Amino acid sequence: MARVLDGAALAAAMKQEVAEEVRRLGEQGVRPGLAAVLVGHVAASEIYVRNKVQACAELGIYSDLITPPAEITTEELLALVDQLNARDDIDGILVQLPLPPRIDSKILLDAIDPAKDVDGFHPVNAGRLLAGRPALAPCTPAGVIEILKRSGIPIAGRHAVVVGRSDIVGKPAAILLLHENATVTICHSKTRDLSAITKQADILVAAIGRPGFIAPEMVAPGATLVDVGINRLNTREEFDRFFKGDARREAAFAKRGSTIVGDIDPKAFEIAGAYTPVPGGVGLLTIAMLMANTVRAAQMRRGLPRRGL
């Protein structure tokens, strides 16, 4: 039977370590601070940001939630970012995506001080990550590595296949795996004979944004499956494709009218050696990594040693 890599337990352990480091920094007169910028009213974004602010409160990190109206301009947001860059009580700046279509997201994210870029999206941090230099890494890919390491999954010398090449997940995940001495293959929508490559993977990371895209026949028996995808299913046809006969999921679907599935068909988990569930896997590590990045930014900005994270 495949081993479940419990994101909840791993995230809880990480948060405990973050809280301890925040306490130690407090003894030195330092309190890490995170500014979250939430533009307008998007229900999913509001939930995500609320969870991040709540995590800050639980761990002793100062947070400042800034909620500009949806009508704000790119120029006004750039001025806000400049103010946050200059604030000494703010170590991390996160601009919740997606932004309204008329906002130039790239210009805005590039305006964040790389030293405060706790999402790890700035080109400077991307370059440092590629070069193996100290950097704030994107939270989800960093969470993937934490799951593997803390679960005792060997990485060095293993063949890791990453399906997806986004700047936010796929590419940085591949770089981080390479830094851990894996042999890495990146696949994407134009990859020929994808199944032949994924079946070679000791570690298969799915981050392509398509529900159940990785089918059982694309997975090698005993492989470790890391599912980064979060896809909402709203129709009975979609539900039955993946969860027909699953009484627990059926009850949840009947109550909510929807359920979520990752980028890996759950039936593939039956032949895996280990896997991250959806929900309850990588997603829970993302917020924990954001908290860790905020603490790390506070340490790096002040030239303090990094301990425990």
DSSP string for residues in 276-300: --SSSSHHHHHHHHHHHHHHHHHHH
Residue 61 tokens, joined: 């990190």
Name which of 131, 115, 226, 209 is nearest 176 in CA terms: 131
Given 1.20.1070.10, 3.40.50.720, 3.40.50.920, 3.40.640.10, which CATH number is that of 139-285?
Answer: 3.40.50.720
Catalytic residue among 91, 113, 117, 119: 119
Judge: domain 29-114, CATH 3.40.50.10860: yes
In this structure, is the dihedral angle defined by the CA atoms of residues 180, 182, 185 and 188, taken in order, positive or negative?
Answer: negative
Within the chain, which residue ranges are assigned CATH 3.40.50.720?
139-285
pLDDT at position 93 is 98
DSSP label at residue 214: B
Taking CA 113 as the corner, what is the angle to CA 38 and CA 115, rounded to the nearest 5 degrees?
110
Under the banding of pLDDT at 50, 70 and 90, the label for residue 245 is confident
pLDDT tens readout for residues 268-284:
999 999 999 999 999 99
How many Å apart are CA 228 and CA 114, to the nearest integer?
A: 25
Catalytic residue among 96, 117, 202, 299: 96
pLDDT at position 45 is 85
Using only C-alpha atoms, what is the Rg of the chain?
20
Catalytic residue among 15, 52, 116, 171: 52
Residue 308 has pLDDT above 70, yes or no: no
Percent of the chain, pLDDT > 70? 99
Within the chain, which residue ranges are assigned CATH 3.40.50.10860?
29-114
Instruction: Clarify whether 299 is annotated catalytic.
Output: no
Bond into 98 cis (ω within 30): yes
Instruction: Clarify whether 263 is annotated catalytic.
Output: no
pLDDT tens readout for residues 156-176:
999 999 999 999 999 999 999
Instruction: Clarify whether 117 is annotated catalytic.
Output: no
pLDDT at position 181 is 98
